[in-house]
Amino acid sequence: MLLEEHLDGIDKGIKSIILNVAEKSKEIQKAFFSHNMLAGTKNVYGEQQLELDKFADKLVLSAMENSEMVKNLASEEQSEIVQIVKCKGDYGVVVDPLDGVSCVKTNLSVGTILGVFDEGAVLEKGKKMDAAMYVLYGPLTSLVYTAKDGVHEFVLNPKNKFELRAENIKIPEKGKLYGSGGFRREWPKKHLEFIERLHKEKYKLRFSGSFTADFQQILSYGGVFSYPATKSYPNGKLRLLFECNPVSFITKHAGGDSTNGKKSILEIKPEKISQRTPIYVGGKKETELAEKILK
Ligand code: F6P
Ligand code: MN
């Protein structure tokens, strides 16, 4: 089954947003070959920005314009919310156009992450999202989405169409993978305690430096991905709006959970678009354990 067929029956606005992103993701995928040069500029967070980030950002914006359904767009590559004047719908979209970009150089998987709210909202609790998705550019280019009716994965086939790979994905409960970002020496004591508990229970480390890819491991095999508060990143490194919320929303619909150590990621009311948060995301038992230790 193709993506457009699978999306039949869901809200037309959300369908249009997902399909337009799917189309542009094909161009992003091709750009890994054509744009593999450093632009030498920094994004609003002071991180090195590849030309590719900007290219992906532009493509996502044009996907939103083409859908004519999006009123407000908050992108990790923009310091302000972009208002799209020519639109018939009133969705609000949050996006990380190219997550894990440092992995492009080493040819590891990277992603495009996106969340959709109604009523033009972007500074809203993640639990209020209507849909979330990501595209993972790996050996396969795959698209994972939920519109609150299960989590489904599609892969780009040789005919350049997204075809169904897995329907109603659930995070395996018995999986034992974990990932943790940040320098070990900068981890808070309680985070170290959590990781040591996982070690004791024979969890195996997987960490690539690309959140989308590292999360896909957890979605496929089970376990937990984390990026705690550290000395360098006292509020965590990952962004609540663009990375943590869409992935946490997908996780919830795949039977898993997420927390900042104290409460669900999806319950955090963001105060600014650049907000960061510590994150623990994956299986229910692992996120419960994280909360038990960190609270
Ligand atoms: O977007 C931020 C990001 O690139 C994530 O994709 C990834 O999980 C994280 O940073 C990796 O951070 P670090 O290099 O500190 O391990
Ligand atoms: Mn990112």
Residues 145 and 189 in one domain: no
Find out whether the beta carbon of 237 lies less than 6 Å from any atom of ligand 1. Answer: yes
Work out which ligand 1 atom sits closest to the CA atom of 225.
8
Q: Does the residue 54 lie in any domain?
A: yes
Residue 105 has pLDDT above 90, yes or no: no
Nearest-CA residue for atom 9 of ligand 1:
209
CA of 118 to the centre of ligand 2 (A): 23
Among 139, 166, 193, the domain boundary falls at: 166
Residues 135 and 215 in one domain: no
Work out which ligand 1 atom sits closest to the CA atom of 210.
6
Residues 225 and 278 in one domain: yes
Q: Does the residue 39 lie in any domain?
A: yes
Residue 239 has pLDDT above 60, yes or no: yes
Q: Does the residue 115 lie in any domain?
A: yes
Could you tell me what percent of the chain has a pLDDT over 70? 95
Domain of 236, CATH number, reads 3.40.190.80
Find out whether the beta carbon of 188 lies less than 6 Å from any atom of ligand 1. Answer: no
Range of the structural domain that residue 208 is part of: 177-294
**Rounded distance, CA 209 to CA 181, Å?**
8
Residues 281 and 159 in one domain: no
CA of 128 to the centre of ligand 2 (A): 21
Q: 3-class SS at 54? A: helix
pLDDT of residue 43: 62
Nearest-CA residue for atom 12 of ligand 1:
209
Phi, psi of 184 (to 5 degrees): -55, -40
Instruction: List pLDDT tens digits, range 6-20.
Output: 999 999 999 999 999
Find out whether the beta carbon of 206 lies less than 6 Å from any atom of ligand 1. Answer: no
**Rounded distance, CA 109 to CA 90, Å?**
32
Task: Tell me what the mean pLDDT of segment 240-264 comes to.
Answer: 98
Can you tell me which residue has the tokens 């890994």? 32
Instruction: Give the chain's count of helices (H) and strands (E).
Output: 8, 15
Could you tell me what percent of the chain has a pLDDT over 90? 91
Work out which ligand 1 atom sits closest to the CA atom of 209.
11
In a mutational test of the pocket of ligand 1, which residue from 57, 106, 237 has the highest number of ligand atoms less than 8 Å from its CB?
A: 237
DSSP 81: P
Q: Does the residue 171 lie in any domain?
A: no
Residues 241 and 95 in one domain: no
DSSP output for 179-243:
EE-S-GGGS-HHHHHHHHHHHHTT-EE---S-HHHHHHHHHHH-EEEEE---SS-TT-SSBIIII
Q: Does the residue 49 lie in any domain?
A: yes
Residues 14 and 157 in one domain: yes
How many separate domains does the chain show?
Answer: 2
- Amino acid identity of residue 173, one-letter, is E
Find out whether the beta carbon of 211 lies less than 6 Å from any atom of ligand 1. Answer: yes
**Rounded distance, CA 264 to CA 56, Å?**
30
| Spatial strand order in the sheet of 110-117 | 82-83, 70-75, 91-99, 110-117, 131-137, 141-146, 151-156, 162-166
Task: Tell me what the mean pLDDT of segment 50-73 comes to.
Answer: 94
Nearest-CA residue for atom 16 of ligand 1:
181
CB atoms within 10 A of CB 255: 16
Contact assessment for residue 31 and residue 52, using Cβ atoms and an 8 Å cutoff: yes
Residues 20 and 146 in one domain: yes
Q: Does the residue 223 lie in any domain?
A: yes
Task: Tell me what the mean pLDDT of segment 60-80 comes to.
Answer: 98
**Rounded distance, CA 278 to CA 259, Å?**
8
Phi, psi of 131 (to 5 degrees): -160, 160
Among 144, 166, 188, the domain boundary falls at: 166
pLDDT of residue 34: 79
Q: 3-class SS at 171? A: coil
Residues 194 and 276 in one domain: yes
141-146 and 151-156: which strand pairing?
antiparallel
Residues 154 and 195 in one domain: no
Residues 204 and 227 in one domain: yes
Q: Does the residue 248 lie in any domain?
A: yes
Residue 21 has pLDDT above 70, yes or no: yes
pLDDT of residue 37: 54
Residues 181 and 149 in one domain: no
Find out whether the beta carbon of 77 lies less than 6 Å from any atom of ligand 1. Answer: no
CA-angle at 216, arms to 24 and 127, nearest 5°: 80
Residues 159 and 286 in one domain: no
Q: Does the residue 172 lie in any domain?
A: no
**Residues in contact with 34: Cβ distance below 8 Å, sequence separation at least 6, in sequence order:** none
Contact assessment for residue 63 and residue 20, using Cβ atoms and an 8 Å cutoff: yes
Q: pTM score, two decimals?
A: 0.95
Find out whether the beta carbon of 108 lies less than 6 Å from any atom of ligand 1. Answer: no
Task: Tell me what the mean pLDDT of segment 150-160 comes to.
Answer: 98
Among 116, 134, 166, the domain boundary falls at: 166
Q: Looking at per-residue confidence, does 249 or 45 come out higher?
A: 249
Domain of 45, CATH number, reads 3.30.540.10
Can you tell me which residue has the tokens 């970002």? 181
Return the ligand number nearest the Cα of 98. Answer: 2
